Homo-oligomer: A and B are copies of this chain.
Amino acid sequence: MAPLTNARVIFNEIPKGLPEPGKTTVFDASENIDLDKTPLDGGFLVKTLVLSIDPYMRGRMRDPSIKSYMPAFEKGEPLTNFGVGVVLRSEHPTISVGDHLYGMYPFREYFVSKDANSFRVLENKEKLPWSVYVGVGGMPGQTAHHAWKEYAHPKKGDVVFVTTGAGPVGATVVQLAKAEGLKVIASAGSEEKVAFMKSIGVDVAFNYKTTNTFDVLKKEGPIDIYWDNVGGESLEAALENAAMPGARFIECGMISGYNSESYHVKNLDKIFARGIHLFGFIVIWLTKWEDEFYKTIPGMISRGEIKYKEDVKRGLECVGQAIVDVQTGQNKGKSVILVADE
């Protein structure tokens, strides 16, 4: 078989504010691969099917001397993030041709790896689309599931407030909370997202760009559980409207500050005055919940008990713009790059 193009998306430059396609990240189709002959050295050859675009990727576009929970992207090397692909060839004892692997992927069409431990072979008895496994069935779903199990401690009658309630993390939190019979308030940044939130059972869904978060929480709260994906003004409004004492704030992300100076949250004193408990976490520290996740969540998805919405773009050329869309909230659902069909 003749060599094929093995396109990739390279991390080119650390952005100041928002990433810029073609500058921060560069699509490059200059490399080739011979799928039959490329040496495996005891490893396996993977064809990338889907790649995930997630908000946290912005944090990896930094000077590598700054330590954080995930390594910085390497300049001149492909981006990496969660993906699903299929094994084309294998010399590895635990990986078979045709296996579908979930894990951290380089942003390229084909790659060889020897590290079987960093991938999970997906069973997919439910025959879900592979893209689901980077969304509600992957890292975002795990983020919601694991932290909800670990920190939410829901009680009958609790009121829950979820930010980015139409995103894959927020929407999963919403549906886990509704499964417990709780009242759910949720915000997002467009009318389309508000409609989706209503369709998955949110009791009070609103557009934070046109409706004041503080006013909604004042009327519909106080809140017992806050799922924070945005920080800033939403966090300030939640602190002010926390049930007293013992509200649980699950601190999952603060996208409002990723691309600009952080907002001055002026009422941190409410943390002690209202006896609020805040739980920061990164999903990779909660892997003890992973087996339970794969046992329960794909089934709930296939039965329609967890609904989701995807924003699928086709081809690695779209990665740069998809990253910007996710940082600015322009995506219409979980952002996924469909790299290839099987």
Contact = CB atoms under 8 A, between A and B. Distances in A.
A272 B227 CA distance: 12
B59 A273 contact: yes
Given A69-B244, A244-B69, A267-B262, A280 B285 contact: no
A244 to B, nearest CB: 7
B262 A266 contact: yes
B282 A272 contact: yes
A122 interface: no
A268 B278 CA distance: 11
Contacts of A233: none
A173 to B, nearest CB: 15
Q: Is the interface of A mostly helix, strand, loop or mixed?
A: loop
Interface string A97-108: 000000000000
A275 B282 contact: yes
A266 to B, nearest CB: 5
A231 B273 contact: no
A64 interface: no
Contacts of A266: 261-262
**Most chain B beta-carbon neighbours within 10 Å: one of A254, A271, A280:** A280
A269 interface: yes
A281 to B, nearest CB: 5
Nearest to A229: B272
A251 interface: yes
28 contacts: A68-B273, A69-B275, A231-B268, A231-B269, A245-B281, A245-B282, A245-B285, A246-B285, A251-B272, A253-B272, A254-B269, A262-B266, A262-B267, A262-B268, A262-B269, A265-B265, A271-B278, A271-B280, A272-B280, A272-B281, A272-B282, A273-B280, A273-B282, A275-B280, A275-B285, A277-B277, A277-B278, A278-B278
